[in-house]
A and B are shown apart, each in its own frame.
Chain A
Amino acid sequence: DSGVTQTPKHLITATGQRVTLRCSPRSGDLSVYWYQQSLDQGLQFLIQYYNGEERAKGNILERFSAQQFPDLHSELNLSSLELGDSALYFCASSVEASGAKHNEQFFGPGTRLTVL
């Protein structure tokens, strides 16, 4: 158990719909990352938040957005869903503090999204 929680575990929805994925980081971790894993693209970085602020963006579509709340949990919003958005979505957290002993990322169990 990494200490990172993600809900829901599975999500089945239809094209054109909107969904929200939730991530709770490990206690004390300030940074949250979102990754997408699809069969054809592998594991890809989407976006990073640090202490409530967006820090880095990867290959995130404009239909996707994310935010990190004051309690440090994060949500990834996916809208106008397409069949190709079907994938595993992982959240990872790390402390990201200068001088911290452990800055590696800890991954949650993922949310499997199926768009029909």
Chain B
Amino acid sequence: DAKTTQPPSMDCAEGRAANLPCNHSTISGNEYVYWYRQIHSQGPQYIIHGLKNNETNEMASLIITEDRKSSTLILPHATLRDTAVYYCIVRGPYNQGGKLIFGQGTELSVKP
């Protein structure tokens, strides 16, 4: 499985967009980029995933560079409840499922 690199921590002002970067320079052509978050000690929560096109859902947007070596998770209007550890994970083809390999993630602090 490809490895990812994320900054250990970031701050964001409440109401502003939070942009969380992730590097995955060794990603293979059929591997997807997934984002999960973990609020305090709760179970990780799925946010979004993508292959090569930009994706958007009710929680966030995912921007993947054209060479697929990096991506950015965007929370458009961060709230205090978005304070969490965000994990960027590279994983095999979507329909094959498989284990998730978590790195250290980025600890996002949303401040009033």
Of A31, A37, A99, A107, the contact of B97 (CB 8 Å cutoff): A31
**Complex: A2 Cα to B36 Cα, angstroms:** 13
- Find chain B residues with CB under 8 A from A107 CB: 43-45
* Dominant secondary structure of chain B at its interface with chain A: loop
What B residues does A48 contact at CB under 8 A? 98-99
Measured CB to CB, the nearest residue on chain A to B95 is A98
From B8-16, B21-29, B71-79, B100-108, the one touching the partner chain is B100-108
- Would you give the shortest CB distance from B100 to chain A, in whole angstroms? 6
How many residues on the B side are at the interface (Cβ–Cβ under 8 A)?
A: 21
Given contacts A90-B44, A106-B46, contact A42 B102 (CB under 8 A): yes
Contacts of A108 in B (CB 8 A): 43
Residues of chain A with a CB closer than 8 A to B100's CB: 33, 35, 43, 45, 92, 105
Docked pose: A113 CA to B38 CA in angstroms: 18
A104-B34, A104-B49 in contact; A45/B101 too (CB < 8 A)?
yes
Chain B residues within 8 Å of A35, by CB? 100, 102
A83: CB under 8 A from chain B? no
**A-B pairs under 8 A by CB, number:** 59
Which of A44, A88, A107 counts the most chain B CB atoms within 10 A? A107
Contacts of B34 in A (CB 8 A): 104
Q: How far is the CA of A5 from the CA of B49 in the complex (A)?
A: 24
In the bound complex, how far is the Cα of B1 from the Cα of A59, in angstroms?
A: 15
Chain B residue numbers with a CB within 8 Å of A88 are 41
When C-beta atoms are compared, the residue in chain B nearest to A31 turns out to be B97
Given contacts A90-B43, A103-B94, A105-B46, 17 further A-B contacts (CB under 8 A): A31-B97, A33-B99, A37-B41, A42-B103, A43-B87, A45-B99, A45-B100, A48-B98, A56-B99, A58-B99, A92-B44, A92-B100, A98-B95, A103-B95, A107-B43, A109-B43, A110-B42
Residues of B near any A CB (own CB < 8 A): 34, 38, 41-46, 49, 87, 94-104
